[in-house]
Structure 1
Amino acid sequence: MKILYVAAEVSPLVKVGGLADVAGSLPQAIQRLGHDIRVVMPGYGRIDRDKYGIQPLVGPFRIPFQKGEEEITISHTKMNGGVPLYLVENQKFFGRENVYGYEDDGLRFALFGLAVIRMLEKIDFQPEVINCNDWHLALIVNLVNKLPEEEQAYQRVATVFTIHNLAYQGIFDPSVVSSVGLDESDLLELEKEREGKINFMARGISFSDVVSTVSEEYAKEIQSKEYGAGLEELLADKRDRLFGILNGVDYQVFNPQTDPHIALNYDLHSLDNKGANKKALQRECGFEAGTDIPLMGMISRLTDQKGLDILVEAIKAVLELGVQFVVLGTGDFRYQDLLTHLAKEFPHNMKAFIKFDAALAQRIYAGCDMFVMPSRFEPCGLGQLISMAYGTIPIVRRTGGLADTVKDFDPRTGTGTGFVFQNYNAMHLLVAIVRALEHFRDEGTWRSLMERAMSCDFSWDSSAHKYEEIYKLAIELRKKGH
């Protein structure tokens, strides 16, 4: 198959969140299955052109936009593994330092979507299927279905729309769609009900041949009022072509046996070496160093979605149990301030790193005994998968991808890979932590738990096969005109 994979961020060129990790890894796994897959993203100003060998390919050429024209250039390079990567360059809209967060984000990604369509007229590659990710790329799906009849070639292209987080939908004034030649009065029923605002996410779901999301449980959850963010009925209508496919882990990057950022490498057969990483992290945090002292970690955006509200409610009780706790992340200022204050109040067993630091993150994965993810909702989650690879036991809420990947420890059968709680409140989180601490004191039980966690395989290869199947389905549905 010929596949065009479109994302707003791609690791390692630009990373804001987990989408970049997916876009950097999944195409390589699909290429290994023998398919011709290419990736396209905006050419942001922050990308180091020299470092990644980016060269001009096509252009400049002009495309109609708003009531005038915009000049577009296409650059290219190759990703790790040799997957071709195209960058859509436009200084005015993409030559900025940040990826998101501008008032004209709707216009920026509308222009990007139209430019991707027009790029295909200029390069020697005609995809059979386009996989668009999250609201930023939804207008591509819309455009493929609404192009004039003389452009029939595009209407034969199948589309897959992948939802990474339904909470972010891209809601804008209708003039955004008219900027790329779509009729701003041609609103979805849902948009008519909501004061005439267009909804990128809703359009991606409505117009795509197949919809996917990043775990099986999340695919079920988003069809309910609790998790559907107002789009539950639209998703339920698509249930026969809505699929949950777990994200994978790039074990070339997240591997304690080869990780260059940790104090001492180890694997399933040299778990005693993990203790050296724990002591190194304890010293880095200013804690007493000792392998018998339970050390918990959290690496997260500091938001309600990630469970920070119930964590801060429970944290003092956790610290009073003699636990050392380290958190790394940025987010809502109130949580940044709260965690900083707690670290000052409990300097001997609480440390808050309010920043983004990839190397420190890997030291936390390697050094901690337990990894806390009490998310309110979690489409897939990557932290729990990485922590298990490092033999660090996850404590998670049963939701979305966390429910699919972490199996609750059962001392009667000796099965499970972590500690799972159901109800979203501080007390149930605290109970799960207490359960984990009880078993941590039993060295044999804990060793077995670590070995089971490290034996889990969440590589991209399994997920790539499932994407291959939904691409085939999308092509088949498009040919049939469904």
Structure 2
Amino acid sequence: MRVLQVSAELFPLLKTGGLADVAGALPAALAAAGAEPRLLVPGFPAIRESLVHECAVAPVALPWSEGRAVLLRGRLPGFEAPVYVLDAPGLFDRPGNPYADEAGVTYADNHRRFALLGLAAARLAEGVDPAWRPQIVHAHDWHAGLACAHIAAGRARGRTDARMVFTVHNLAYQGLFPADCFADLGLPPAHYAVEGLEFYGQVSFMKAGLHFADAITTVSPGYAREIQTPEQGCGLDGLLRHRAAVLHGVLNGVDYRLWSPARDRSLAQPYDADRPEGKADCKAALQGECGLAVKVDAPLFGIVSRLTEQKGLPLVLEALNDLLAAGGQLVVLGSGDARLEAEFSAAAARHPGQVARRTGMDEGLAHHIYAGSDVMLVPSRFEPCGLTQLYGLSYGALPLVHRVGGLADTVVDCTLEDLDAGAATGFVFDAFTADAYRRALRRVFALWSRPASWANVRNAAMRQRFGWDAAARRYVEIYAGLATAPAQ
């Protein structure tokens, strides 16, 4: 089964969030499950600089007049399969991250940049590379949503019979653009309609994927249910309910080659569930690295996150005095909303030795935080899957989470019955309120005061396994079902 994965990000070369981790880990898992995967990614500088053994496959005609684009095939470090790179310097050779400039201002031509990515996927589905033609195109999130629209147009013209899978990583980010941008997308005029890309007078790349894909997946079973409700459907719940028969929740996995404290060479001391003593060394190293008081008896809480309201961080700030008064410490890594950045920075200034704040995406420090923390805070308002809590489980940093989406699917609360059964792996609160979050905090400190019970929960957490093998097998089942089904 030849499968083309289409993504705007790719770990370890280009990452702003969990999408990159998925795109980086899934191809190898699919290959192990019997598929033949390849990747298509935009030619951002970090990717172009790493591409070796490259050759030109075919030019990609732009729907507008200026510029050039060509599909390249080559190799990227760490990937066994060939990779396709869409080389369009005028669109992708820019500073900043994939979506915004260095000041955080979104690029005004993002509709062109990611429409072209979808168009390139369609050209591959139509066979522009005579050496390899995908049977399945698997597009990830709104940036790749137009791949589904372009392939649907190609199927209508008899140019391809490829099937399409579209994965929603976060429905809140939809790729919305003014209606007059539709002229730049290279699609048939009929595609701008309610049964197409039109969304309340705008163009929606997310809706393109949801409407035209043969199968829709999202990154946890819980989130697949939630996005069919008005509360979390972001205006698309009606379409998702209409397409519920082809909507699947497939839980993301963890690449334990990268996220295992026993194999992580960046740590002060390796450790695992059978030999957890090294975690104390990692905690002391993290406290020293971040300027916190080196105290073994202070529970250390970690946050590795985009600093946004969605991640529930206002709850953390509202109850920060409770955490500190009980003797806890907090380290925060991330950037995002200016107000949240300022408030965490102010907290660090007010409480030196107890609160540390670091900015940006520092992959090495992120690993140190997972290894050195006793608790990972993930109190998200909504969370499609969440990788933070999965990494926390692997490193024995017990997740404190809101019971929503993938968080609810992966963390077992420290209730008396689950403690007794040895099933508890973290702390879960139900209502998205400061009071409910504070009660979960109190449960953390209650368990911390019982070292033997804490050690048992940590042991259970570290023995959890959410590998990519199960997800890959499920994806292969979905692909196989599409390959034998008639096109919609």
TM bucket, shorter chain: over 0.9
Matches within 5 A, 1:391-406: 391-406=396-411
What SS class does the counterpart of residue 45 from structure 2 fall into?
coil
Number of the residue aligned with 1:159: 164
What SS class does the counterpart of residue 47 from structure 1 fall into?
helix
Tell me which amino acid in the other structure corresponds to 2:44: Y
Number of the residue aligned with 2:90: 92
Quote the Cα distance in structure 1 between the aligned partners of 2:245 and 2:120: 31
Deviates most, 455-464 or 75-84:
75-84
**Contact map agreement 1:58 1:123 (CA 8 A) in 2:** no
Offset of residue 139 of structure 1: 1.1
**Contact map agreement 1:365 1:387 (CA 8 A) in 2:** yes
Matches within 5 A, 1:271-420: 271-412=276-417, 413-414=420-421, 415-420=423-428
Quote the Cα distance in structure 2 between the aligned partners of 1:283 and 1:78: 36
Offset of residue 74 of structure 1: 1.4
1:214 aligns with 2:213: no
1:451 aligns with 2:439: no
Matches within 5 A, 1:27-42: 27-42=27-42
Number of the residue aligned with 1:142: 149
Offset of residue 62 of structure 1: 5.0
Offset of residue 312 of structure 1: 1.0
Q: Deviations over 1:275-326 (max 9, x none)?
A: 1111111222323323222111111110000001211111122111111111
Offset of residue 398 of structure 1: 0.3
Q: Deviations over 1:109-151 (max 9, x none)?
A: 11121123224413411111100011111111111112375x4
Quote the Cα distance in structure 1 between the aligned partners of 2:92 and 2:481: 34
Offset of residue 191 of structure 1: 7.3
Number of the residue aligned with 1:47: 47
Quote the Cα distance in structure 2 between the aligned partners of 1:202 and 1:180: 14
Offset of residue 56 of structure 1: 2.9
Tell me which amino acid in the other structure corresponds to 1:20: A
Q: Deviations over 1:4-47 (max 9, x none)?
A: 11111111221111111100001110001222111110111233
Offset of residue 72 of structure 1: 1.8
Structure 1 portions without partners, runs of 5+: none
**Contact map agreement 1:129 1:160 (CA 8 A) in 2:** yes
Quote the Cα distance in structure 2 between the aligned partners of 1:37 and 1:449: 38
Q: Which of 69, 83, 87 is matched with 2:81 structurally? A: 83
1:110 aligns with 2:109: no
Quote the Cα distance in structure 2 between the aligned partners of 1:59 and 1:370: 49
**Contact map agreement 1:138 1:204 (CA 8 A) in 2:** yes
What SS class does the counterpart of residue 63 from structure 1 fall into?
coil
**Contact map agreement 1:67 1:179 (CA 8 A) in 2:** no
**Contact map agreement 1:110 1:176 (CA 8 A) in 2:** no
Quote the Cα distance in structure 2 between the aligned partners of 1:40 and 1:192: 23
Quote the Cα distance in structure 1 between the aligned partners of 2:187 and 2:262: 52
Q: Which of 43, 54, 57 is matched with 1:56 structurally? A: 54
Number of the residue aligned with 2:469: 461
Deviates most, 282-291 or 257-266:
282-291
**Contact map agreement 1:257 1:267 (CA 8 A) in 2:** yes
Q: Deviations over 1:432-479 (max 9, x none)?
A: 0110110111111111101100110011011111111111122233xx
Tell me which amino acid in the other structure corresponds to 2:258: V
Offset of residue 194 of structure 1: 4.8
**Contact map agreement 2:163 2:483 (CA 8 A) in 1:** yes
TM-aligned CA distance change 1:31 to 1:78, over 3 Å: farther
What SS class does the counterpart of residue 266 from structure 1 fall into?
coil
Q: Deviations over 1:402-461 (max 9, x none)?
A: 000001112342431111001111111111011011011111111110110011001101
TM-aligned CA distance change 1:361 to 1:100, over 3 Å: same
**Count of residues paired in the alignment:** 476
Matches within 5 A, 1:187-206: 187-189=192-194, 194-206=199-211
Deviates most, 319-328 or 171-180:
171-180
TM-aligned CA distance change 1:69 to 1:59, over 3 Å: farther
Offset of residue 190 of structure 1: 7.1
Quote the Cα distance in structure 2 between the aligned partners of 1:481 and 1:268: 48
Matches within 5 A, 1:418-457: 418-457=426-465
Quote the Cα distance in structure 2 between the aligned partners of 1:407 and 1:297: 19
Q: Which of 132, 147, 154 is matched with 1:125 structurally? A: 132
**Contact map agreement 1:222 1:228 (CA 8 A) in 2:** yes
Structure 2 portions without partners, runs of 5+: 101-106
Tell me which amino acid in the other structure corresponds to 2:272: D
Quote the Cα distance in structure 1 between the aligned partners of 2:57 and 2:94: 20
Number of the residue aligned with 2:22: 22
TM-aligned CA distance change 1:67 to 1:285, over 3 Å: closer
Quote the Cα distance in structure 2 between the aligned partners of 1:58 and 1:227: 43
Quote the Cα distance in structure 2 between the aligned partners of 1:43 and 1:193: 28
TM-aligned CA distance change 1:193 to 1:96, over 3 Å: closer
TM-aligned CA distance change 1:64 to 1:288, over 3 Å: closer
Quote the Cα distance in structure 1 between the aligned partners of 2:260 and 2:111: 38
Q: What is the TM-score normalised by the length of structure 2?
A: 0.93
Offset of residue 68 of structure 1: 6.3
What SS class does the counterpart of residue 70 from structure 1 fall into?
coil
**Contact map agreement 1:64 1:180 (CA 8 A) in 2:** no
Tell me which amino acid in the other structure corresponds to 1:373: V
Quote the Cα distance in structure 2 between the aligned partners of 1:389 and 1:164: 22
Q: Which of 178, 184, 202 is matched with 2:183 structurally? A: 178
Tell me which amino acid in the other structure corresponds to 1:132: A
Q: What is the TM-score normalised by the length of structure 1?
A: 0.94
Quote the Cα distance in structure 2 between the aligned partners of 1:191 and 1:117: 17
Tell me which amino acid in the other structure corresponds to 1:288: A
Quote the Cα distance in structure 1 between the aligned partners of 2:201 and 2:298: 57
